[in-house]
Structure 1
Amino acid sequence: MKVKLAVSIILLTICFAAFGQEKQAVTNVEKGLTKVSVMYPYAEGKTFDLEYYETKHMPMVAGFLGSNLVKYTIEKGVSSGIPNQPLPFMAIGTFYVKSLSDYQAAIGPNRDAIRADFPKYTNITPIILVSEVVR
């Protein structure tokens, strides 16, 4: 009986520790950061090479951003939030930066290189949303 209780306590402790770490990982984006979301809408006949995007394109753009970049994420679209509706986006790349003006200063001179890389992974024109993290 004591062994079962001890094992149960250990398992609960591990679960709570893991949940706390996951919660921390999800909420580690600071309020006030600028979020740049590059969204690739789904449409019939459109293509997206996620491997190239992950291994070549996003690291290239991240390199242009330097120390202004806090982190970046890549999301692969899997479903619409509404059953039986088409996928809204094939992928979304997001940059979290400290300063919008520094982001713009870094991207400006590299805009042609970034655009020239598009055909290597997609035939989609992205939608870009710049927002501020409020929570």
Structure 2
Amino acid sequence: MKSKLIVLLLSTFFTAFGQEKNSQKSEKHSSAIVEKGLIKVSVMYPYAEGKTFDMAYYETKHMPMVAGYLGENLVKYTIEKGVASGMPNTPLPFMAIGTFYVKSLSDYQAAIAPNRDTIRKDFANYTNITPIILVSEVIK
């Protein structure tokens, strides 16, 4: 009976300890994504009839290329594929959104400026859409 109690207590301890460690890892990972003060560069591709977007190329070629230009300033980047609008029976607002989270706006601009023509020329490889770019600061 005593040994069963010890096994039960140890099992409970290790289970709780493991969950706490996993929770801490998860919190650490998610806070890095939305850290206050980061600069968020959203590149949005509006939906319109006749417009095309090659998500495979964007994911495997274009975004990694641009991310490479950003170097240590880049914290993370994300790629989103539009699937629906917020209201039923209304057109999809964006076909895709690529987002870069960077530490410094001036470092971002300095990295992009000499590569702007290369980045723009690559658009033809995956889309016929002119993107809308929003630069913002993460507040929370």
Shorter-chain TM-score above 0.5:
yes
SS in 1 for 2:32: coil
Query: Which is higher, the Rg of structure 1 or of structure 2?
Result: 2
Q: CA deviation at 1:90?
A: 0.3
Map 1:1-135; keep pairs closer than 5 Å: 25-29=29-33, 30-135=35-140
SS at match of 1:28: helix
Number of matched pairs? 128
Letter in 2 for 1:110: N
CA distance in structure 1 between the aligned counterparts of 2:72 and 2:91, rounded to whole angstroms: 38
Unaligned runs of 5+ in 1: 1-5
Structure-2 change in CA distance of 1:125 and 1:102 (3 Å): same
Normalising by structure 1, report the TM-score. Answer: 0.83
Bigger mean CA deviation after superposition, 22-31 or 92-101: 22-31
- Unaligned runs of 5+ residues in structure 2 are 1-7
Equivalent-residue separation in structure 2 for 1:51 and 1:69 (angstroms): 22
Q: TM-score, normalised by structure 2?
A: 0.81
1:118 CA drift (Å) = 0.2
The root-mean-square deviation of aligned C-alpha atoms, in Å, is: 2.2
Distance 2:27 2:122 in 1: 35
Q: CA deviation at 1:28?
A: 2.9
